[in-house]
Amino acid sequence: MQSRSEVTRQKILSSATRLFSLNGYDGTGVAEICEAAGVSKGAFYHHFPSKQDVFLNILNEWLDQLSSQMQAARLATHDVPEGLVAMSGLIDQVFQMSRNHYSLFFEFWIQAMRHPEIWQTAIAPYHRFQTWLAAILQSGINEGSVDPSVPPDDTSRILIAMVLGLLLQAFFDPNGAAWGDVTESGIKTLVTEFSRRSL
Amino acid sequence: MQSRSEVTRQKILSSATRLFSLNGYDGTGVAEICEAAGVSKGAFYHHFPSKQDVFLNILNEWLDQLSSQMQAARLATHDVPEGLVAMSGLIDQVFQMSRNHYSLFFEFWIQAMRHPEIWQTAIAPYHRFQTWLAAILQSGINEGSVDPSVPPDDTSRILIAMVLGLLLQAFFDPNGAAWGDVTESGIKTLVTEFSRRSL
C-alpha cells in the first residue's frame, strides 16, 4: 500500500501534469496545483521545493517509466538488433498519448531553453537515457550482432532522433500516417544497416 | 532594387522574428513589432491582417528558403541517393542558427497546438515539403537508384524525422556531439539501406 505521503505526492504530480498541459508552465501557479490536487501549500512545499521541481519530477518519472518498459522489451529478445526493434514497438503507446501530453513535452523544451537552471537539471535524464542506449549498442557489438564499425554514442543519438522526429510529426499531423508503423519501419531500416555493415 | 513596400514588409518580418524569439509569441504585441521595425500600425496592417499572419509568413519563408537550397544541392548531384546526402549537408547551417531561432521553432509548435487556425494554415507548408521529398524518392525509384520496395510517403517522413530529431537534441545538448556530422551519418545510413534493399 502507498503511504499517505506518497499518495499526496502523486496527487500533486498528476494535477500539475494536467494543468501544465492545459495552461502551460507559466500559466500554472502553485496555488492552482494545490487546489486541483486538494492539498495545502504546506503539503506541497513539504514534497517539492518549487514548481520547477515538480516539472522536473514529471519529466524524470516519464523517462524512467519509458526506459523500464524498453529494458523489459529488450530482455525478451535474443539479440540487440531484435531488442531495438521490439523497443520501437512501445513507441506506439507514446503516440497514443493525448495532445495534452504532447503540449507538456513542448513546454518542457521551451522552459529548458528559457531557464538555464531547468536546462542544467533536465539534461541529466536525457544523458542518462542516451548513455543507456549507447551501452545497449556496445553490448550488441560485444555479442557480435551489431557491426563493430558502428559508433555507439552517435548511433544512440540517431535512434533517439528517429523517435523524437516522428513524435513531432505525429503531433503535428496525427492522421497523416500510421505513425507507430512508420516508427517501427524507420528503426528497422537503421537497425538492419547497423547489423549488416560488415556483411 | 526592392520596392519601399517590400522593404517595410521585410522590416516587419525581421523585427517580429527577433521579438517572437526573445519574448515568445504571446509575449509580443503588434505595437512592439511596429516600434521595433519603425513602422506605423497602418503600414503593419497594410501588409499583414494579424500577428498570426506574420508568424505564418516567417514559417513559410523559412521553409521555402530551405527547400530551394535543398533543390539546388539535389540538382548538383547525379542521382537521388547522392542528392539526399548532399541535402543533409545543408542541415549544418540550420544547426548553426542561434538559440533564439530555435526558440521560434518550438514556439511555432506550441502555437499550432493551442490554436487550431494556426495549425490548419501551418500544416500546409509541412505537407508541401513532405510531398516534395516523397516526389524526389519516387524519381529515384524511376531512375533505378532507389529500391522500388521503398514507400515514398512514409520514407519522406522518416527522413524528416531524422533531421527534426537531431535538431531537437542539438538544441538541447549543443556541445554533446558534432551534430552536422551525426545528421549526415544518420541520413547516409538510411539512404544506403533505401538504395540497396534489392541487392
Give A147-171 as a 3 state SS string.
Answer: CCCCCHHHHHHHHHHHHHHHHHHHH
Per-residue pLDDT tens for A150-184? 999 999 999 999 988 998 888 778 888 998 899 99
CB contact under 8 A, B158 and A123: no
Spatial separation of the C-alpha atoms in residues B86 and B76, rounded to whole Å: 9
pLDDT above 90 covers a percentage of chain B that reads 43
Task: Give the mean pLDDT of A97-103.
Answer: 58
Task: Give the mean pLDDT of A29-35.
Answer: 97
pLDDT above 70 covers a percentage of chain A that reads 92
- Predicted local confidence at residue B124, as pLDDT: 81
Query: Rounded to whole angstroms, what are the CA distances from B124 to A156, A164, B87?
Result: 32, 21, 22
**A95: pLDDT strictly greater than 80:** no
Q: From chain B, which residues contact A within 8 Å (Cβ)?
A: 24, 99, 102-103, 106-107, 109-110, 112-114, 119, 123, 126-127, 153-154, 157-158, 160-166, 168-169, 171-173, 176-177, 181-182, 185-186, 189-190, 192-194
**A93: pLDDT strictly greater than 80:** no
Taking a C-beta distance cutoff of 8 angstroms, is the pair B86, B37 a contact? no
CB contact under 8 A, B161 and A166: yes
CB contact under 8 A, A161 and B164: yes
Per-residue pLDDT tens for B98-145? 455 666 777 777 777 777 777 777 788 788 889 999 999 999 999 999
- Give B142→chain A minimum CA distance, Å: 21
- Of the pLDDT bands very low, low, confident and very high (cuts 50, 70, 90), residue B199 is very low
- Predicted local confidence at residue B58, as pLDDT: 86
- Alpha helices, DSSP H, located in chain A: 4-23, 30-37, 41-47, 51-75, 80-89, 91-96, 99-114, 116-143, 152-172, 179-196
The answer to which of A5-9, A106-110, B23-27 has the lowest mean pLDDT is A106-110
CB contact under 8 A, B157 and A182: yes
Residue of chain A whose Cα is closest to the Cα of B131: A176
Task: Give the mean pLDDT of A29-44.
Answer: 96
Averaged confidence pLDDT in chain A: 86
pLDDT above 90 covers a percentage of chain A that reads 43
Taking a C-beta distance cutoff of 8 angstroms, is the pair B121, B168 a contact? no
Higher pLDDT, B92 or A37: A37
Per-residue pLDDT tens for B30-66? 999 999 999 999 999 999 999 989 988 887 887 788 7
- Predicted local confidence at residue B138, as pLDDT: 95
For residue A63, give every residue at least 6 positions away whose Cβ sits within 8 Å of its Cβ, in sequence order, or none. Answer: A125, A126, A128, A129
- Predicted local confidence at residue B100, as pLDDT: 54
Closest partner residue to B160 (CB to CB) among A126, A165, A192 is: A165
Task: Give the mean pLDDT of A109-130.
Answer: 78
The answer to which of A28-32, A92-96, B159-163 has the lowest mean pLDDT is A92-96
Residue whose C-alpha cell reads 530551405 in the numeric block? B66
Higher pLDDT, B93 or A82: A82
Nearest residue to A197 via CA among A81, A85, A88, A86? A81
Which pTM value belongs to this model? Answer: 0.82
**A63: pLDDT strictly greater than 80:** no
Q: Highest mean pLDDT range out of A84-93, A118-127, A142-151, B98-107?
A: A142-151
Task: Give the mean pLDDT of B153-182.
Answer: 90
Measured between beta carbons, the chain A residues lying within 8 angstroms of B103 are 110, 113-114
Task: Give the mean pLDDT of A139-154.
Answer: 94
Write the single-letter amino acid at A90. Answer: L
Higher pLDDT, B109 or A49: A49
- Of the pLDDT bands very low, low, confident and very high (cuts 50, 70, 90), residue A100 is low
Nearest residue to A133 via CA among A96, A198, A187? A187
Nearest residue to B139 via CA among B80, B191, B86, B193? B80
- Predicted local confidence at residue A46, as pLDDT: 96
Taking a C-beta distance cutoff of 8 angstroms, is the pair B72, B89 a contact? no
Please state at what angle helix B152-172 crosses helix B116-143, rounded to 10 degrees. 120
